[in-house]
Chain A
Amino acid sequence: MKLHHIAILFALLGLAACSQDERLVYQEDPRVYFSKFSTNPDSTDYSFAVKDASLLQDTVWLTMRVMGSAAVKDREIRLRVSDTSKAREGYHFNFGPLVMPANAFEARLPVILYRKPGLRDSVLTIDLAVEESKDFKPGYNDRPTTSSPIDRLHYKISVTDQLLKPARWDVSLAASFGTYSQVKFRFMILETGKTNWNETIFPGDMQFLIQTVKYALYKYEETNGPLLDENGVRVVFP
């Protein structure tokens, strides 16, 4: 080897140190997952029973986020309906466009629910899982917690036409509204207009809900006498 070759080799090695570092950004394949927060939990309980009788279909929204950067084009998301699901796609529900819009990091995806006669005496579930699409791989699979037992690659929708006792009644609502009954719950929904009692209710709003149902019950009893529930027990609020 000629001497000048050795000198050039040293020079190149020295210059290599001058290259700029790559920016530390997400470099993996684009992925997508269900967003989960206290106000946007891992599942939705939907009941047509709290809606007007003329409502024959409604929409539940799934919030999904991307891992990585936004893209300049719309990207396809794929969701698989698991075998554990009791609801049938095309009959009990349908998906709306499953698309992450261009330049977006988050999207709300529609699931259209249909009010079918069978829902009056049953609760059906739609168990969803994130599938690989041409644009996204499944995102990350976190460790489920007590409050969110379903991981970020799965989502559960329960749909019924029955008036269901909210899952958080005993642990959260009972202190403010007393013993659960269907008549009481229907009265609360009617007077407050609030249909989702499983979501987090902030303290100020909770006080107003309590004040509202108490006053409404007074007005009801003033005209109709005591309101009795399905068990013949007088409806009261503590």
Chain B
Amino acid sequence: MKIQILSLLAVVALAGCYKDKGNYDYRPVNEIVVENGKGPEALSVSFNDSLKLSPSFTQTMPGHDTSLAFEWTVFDNSPASSYTLPRSVVSTDRNLAIRITSPVFTLGQNYRLGYKVSDKRTGLAGYHFYDLTIVNKYARGWMFMEQFGNNGDFSMILPDGTAEYRVYSAINTNYPMGRPVKLEITPFQVTDDLSPSSRKIYLLWENGAAELDYQTLQRKFDYGYLFYLAPEVVKPAVHTWMSTSTGATLSASLGVAINDGKVHANLVGGFPGSKKWGGVLLEPEGTPNYSVAPFVAGGTTYTALVHDNTGKRFLSVTTTGLLRLPTQASTEFDMNNTGMELVYMDSANVPRYHNAVMKDAGGVPYLLQFKAIVATGESPVLTLGKMQMNAPGILQMSAAAGSTTTPHLYYAAGNKIQRFETTSNTTAEQYVFPQQEQVVRMKFKREPTGISQLAVATWNGAEGHVYFFNVSNLGDLTLTAPSYGGFGRIVDMGYKVP
């Protein structure tokens, strides 16, 4: 017996020395790939709307659909959210069909939605992800800032053609807006670390301003909070962001605010620390004795250019001061001494080129054309041209909008829309409204792959109207139906995208 037990132990011990011959009889398994393995897709979904998704997937061994399991999970992926927020399973169906509502979803938040298709026989799964932004019905559409007596509001015209009136006061019941001045909507996201990255909406009024949450349109920050030190005099005219980006995706380079005629800057970038609007920038002589017109021209070589109507010159905006332009930048006219007052400035039909309508001491209108970009190896000259404008009534204009597709500047005096052509120095009447309807605001909306639009706001003394014109590739205007009434006196407008 002893020998037998010892032999058994020896055999067991020696079994450890057995060389594994391996098992090379691999069996193929069903591999699943969803949506060709693409990266996360970004989707904007309206709160209380339904979301239906039917992703496609492939299997290396199809024909066993009963063995597949599906799972849709979602978690809050907003930049400021906690990492410990719960992950919710919102469906176990092949295709997703859910309603975007609470408790899982909150308006304005970002979510990562995951789709998992697994083969129950092996446990192997394929995945696909979506980045959801929960927006409201005001995610896209025209915004119209209006004056009602001494108060302001804004209304919207949504992509489906419906008009939503007095949206601001409906959402921000406890924060009445003063007499409105300007609506600012950035065309790109801004990362200022005051709040998660997003496009920006600022509402400026006579003696105050506010930043709205871009998604919810709720008032987020008051004017003073946006500054390191709130300005002593609050009289905002411009609050915008410039971009020197040259690629398809723009990013903010410099914030430029004009308040009480003075310039303030905001430096953003991928550095830590706060990013707020700074103090009054001094002009090149080291004084704040200037008053800039409420327009900013952007470029790449020169991030932002403004015109001092006191010193009658253009100035380059930096984060620490306003600078003169190099002498060699001027040939057609002197950028450092225009000798005139800026009346209106807008983008031209070449990127980074600008048209400035000026008025000399004798009340004669001039057009100054310049650029804010100097390509490597190119002449440093910025000035492009100067001409006395053949544009009847332009100095009495009540609204203007520069075309970025054709060499035209649309302006309105009274009830007429005129089109000034910068190449021929000629003006042609484009449209005449009824006598009592005065044009109060115009905005050009460029559509690179479609038909560009000119939105026109009028005021008849009691009610504001909005009209949309299609702009042909020759710059001709065609009125499109319908028009919209029921607005207050529109002071500014812009187009909001998600």
With most chain B CB atoms within 10 A of its CB, the pick from A202, A203, A211, A217 is A211
For the complex of A and B, list the 5 residue pairs with the smallest distance between their C-beta atoms, beginning with the closest. A202-B273, A211-B279, A207-B319, A208-B228, A211-B278
In contact, B5 and A202 (Cβ under 8 angstroms): no
| Residues of chain A whose beta carbon lies under 8 Å from any beta carbon of chain B | 3, 6-7, 10, 176, 202-205, 207-208, 210-212, 214-215, 217-218
Verify if B286 is at the interface (C-beta below 8 Å from A).
yes
| Residues of chain B whose beta carbon lies under 8 Å from any beta carbon of chain A | 1-2, 5-6, 9, 228-229, 265-269, 271-276, 278-282, 286-288, 319-321
In contact, A214 and B286 (Cβ under 8 angstroms): yes
In contact, B272 and A202 (Cβ under 8 angstroms): yes
Q: How far is the CA of A208 from the CA of B229 in the complex (A)?
A: 9
Q: Inside 8 A of A210's CB, which chain B residues have their CB?
A: 319-320
Q: Inside 8 A of B269's CB, which chain A residues have their CB?
A: 203
In contact, B281 and A203 (Cβ under 8 angstroms): no
Knowing A10-B9, A208-B276, the reply to whether A215 touches B320 (Cβ < 8 A) is no
Q: Give chain B nearest CB distance to A1 CB in angstroms.
A: 11
In contact, A218 and B271 (Cβ under 8 angstroms): no
In contact, A7 and B5 (Cβ under 8 angstroms): yes
Chain B residue nearest to A214 (CB atoms) is B282
In contact, B271 and A208 (Cβ under 8 angstroms): no
Q: Inside 8 A of B228's CB, which chain A residues have their CB?
A: 205, 208
Which residue of the partner chain, among B2, B272, B273, B280, contacts A211 with CB atoms under 8 Å? Answer: B280
Chain A residue nearest to B265 (CB atoms) is A207
Q: Give chain A nearest CB distance to B344 CB in angstroms.
A: 29
Chain A residue nearest to B266 (CB atoms) is A204
In contact, B273 and A203 (Cβ under 8 angstroms): yes
Which residue of the partner chain, among A203, A214, A217, contacts B267 with CB atoms under 8 Å? Answer: A203
Q: Inside 8 A of B274's CB, which chain A residues have their CB?
A: 202, 204-205
Q: How far is the CA of A207 from the CA of B321 in the complex (A)?
A: 10
Chain B residue nearest to A238 (CB atoms) is B320
Knowing A203-B273, A218-B287, A218-B288, the reply to whether A208 touches B5 (Cβ < 8 A) is no
Knowing A3-B2, A10-B9, A210-B320, the reply to whether A218 touches B279 (Cβ < 8 A) is no
Which residue of the partner chain, among A6, A7, A205, A215, contacts B280 with CB atoms under 8 Å? Answer: A215
Q: Give chain A nearest CB distance to B316 CB in angstroms.
A: 16
Knowing A3-B2, A211-B281, the reply to whether A204 touches B320 (Cβ < 8 A) is no
Q: Inside 8 A of B288's CB, which chain A residues have their CB?
A: 215, 218
Q: Inside 8 A of B267's CB, which chain A residues have their CB?
A: 203-204, 207
Q: How far is the CA of A45 from the CA of B498 in the complex (A)?
A: 51
Knowing A10-B9, A203-B269, A208-B228, the reply to whether A218 touches B282 (Cβ < 8 A) is yes
Q: Inside 8 A of B278's CB, which chain A residues have their CB?
A: 207-208, 211
In contact, B320 and A3 (Cβ under 8 angstroms): no
In contact, A215 and B9 (Cβ under 8 angstroms): no
Q: Inside 8 A of A218's CB, which chain B residues have their CB?
A: 282, 286-288
Q: Inside 8 A of B271's CB, which chain A residues have their CB?
A: 202-204
With most chain A CB atoms within 10 A of its CB, the pick from B1, B266, B271, B278 is B278
Chain B residue nearest to A176 (CB atoms) is B320
Q: Inside 8 A of B276's CB, which chain A residues have their CB?
A: 204, 208
Q: Inside 8 A of A212's CB, which chain B residues have their CB?
A: 229, 279
Q: Inside 8 A of B1's CB, which chain A residues have their CB?
A: 3
Q: How far is the CA of A202 from the CA of B288 in the complex (A)?
A: 25
Chain A residue nearest to B13 (CB atoms) is A10
Q: Inside 8 A of B287's CB, which chain A residues have their CB?
A: 218
Q: Inside 8 A of A205's CB, which chain B residues have their CB?
A: 228, 273-274
With most chain B CB atoms within 10 A of its CB, the pick from A7, A204, A214, A215 is A204
Q: How far is the CA of A130 from the CA of B269 in the complex (A)?
A: 40
